[in-house]
């Protein structure tokens, strides 16, 4: 129903994840009435991200330099490596303020249905890092779903023989959650992982 540049914009916006046809239309009209300077900033930000952002040569986190901010930080320890699926997971862990080691971004999880096997992830690169001998503990922070569990199990089998402690993030009830609404698998895990109070 729209035509020309407006139709093109609605179409392009509609390709983005989480934006449906109505949302694309709403954003397009917002852009029409917004300040041209602001829209230029958005368009430039899009192009600059494609030009500047790549992955860290050590941990494969997003970075604008050869090595990411975390790998460059001399105050962090090389003794602990936290393995995550995606760069966004690095941010999630960083927000907790609990971890002062390094990361390794796998670039996904093992998913046979989608044809993603160990060779499609940065597992070989992780092994090379571990062979340097600095690492004492490998924390497996892949997602607590089927694919993430499979990946963690696979990595544990691979790494334990190297004499490195391998740990997995605890599964259980989310803080602030409601026991009544917890699914049975989560509640089962919470029972399994219960701690003695002292």
In the complex, what is the shortest distance from the CB of residue 148 to a copy of itself, in angstroms, rounded to a whole number? 17
8 A C-beta contact, residue 83 and residue 142: yes
54 — phi, psi (to 5°)?
A: -135, -160
In the complex, what is the shortest distance from the CB of residue 57 to a copy of itself, in angstroms, rounded to a whole number? 17
For a copy of itself, which is the closer residue by CB, 59 or 138?
59
Query: Residue 99's closest CA among 83, 121, 88, 86?
Result: 83
For a copy of itself, which is the closer residue by CB, 61 or 135?
61
Q: Which residues bind a copy of itself (CB under 8 A)?
A: 1-6, 8-9, 11-13, 15-19, 23, 25-32, 36, 38-53, 62, 64, 69, 86-88, 91, 94-95
For a copy of itself, which is the closer residue by CB, 6 or 158?
6
In the complex, what is the shortest distance from the CB of residue 78 to a copy of itself, in angstroms, rounded to a whole number? 22
For a copy of itself, which is the closer residue by CB, 40 or 134?
40
In the complex, what is the shortest distance from the CB of residue 89 to a copy of itself, in angstroms, rounded to a whole number? 11
What SS3 class is residue 192? helix
8 A C-beta contact, residue 130 and residue 122: no
8 A C-beta contact, residue 141 and residue 149: no
Query: Residue 171's closest CA among 188, 154, 152?
Result: 188
């Amino acid at each position: 129903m729209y035509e020309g540049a407006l139709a093109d914009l609605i179409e392009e916006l509609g390709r983005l994840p989480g934006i449906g046809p109505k949302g694309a239309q709403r954003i397009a009209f917002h852009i029409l009435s917004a300040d041209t300077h602001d829209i230029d900033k958005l368009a430039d930000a899009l192009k600059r991200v494609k030009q500047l952002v790549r992955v860290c040569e050590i941990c494969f986190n997003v970075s604008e330099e050869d090595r990411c901010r975390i790998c460059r930080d001399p105050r962090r320890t090389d003794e602990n490596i936290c393995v995550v699926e995606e760069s966004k997971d690095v941010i999630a862990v960083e927000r907790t303020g609990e971890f002062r080691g390094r990361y390794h971004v796998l670039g996904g999880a093992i998913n046979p249905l989608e044809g993603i096997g160990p060779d499609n992830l940065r597992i070989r690169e992780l092994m090379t890092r571990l062979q340097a001998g600095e690492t004492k503990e490998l924390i497996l922070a892949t997602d607590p779903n089927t694919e993430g569990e499979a990946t963690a199990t696979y990595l544990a089998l691979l790494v334990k023989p190297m004499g490195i402690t391998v740990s997995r993030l605890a599964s259980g009830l989310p803080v602030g959650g409601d026991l009544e609404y917890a699914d049975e698998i989560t509640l089962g895990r919470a029972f399994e992982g219960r701690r003695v109070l002292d």
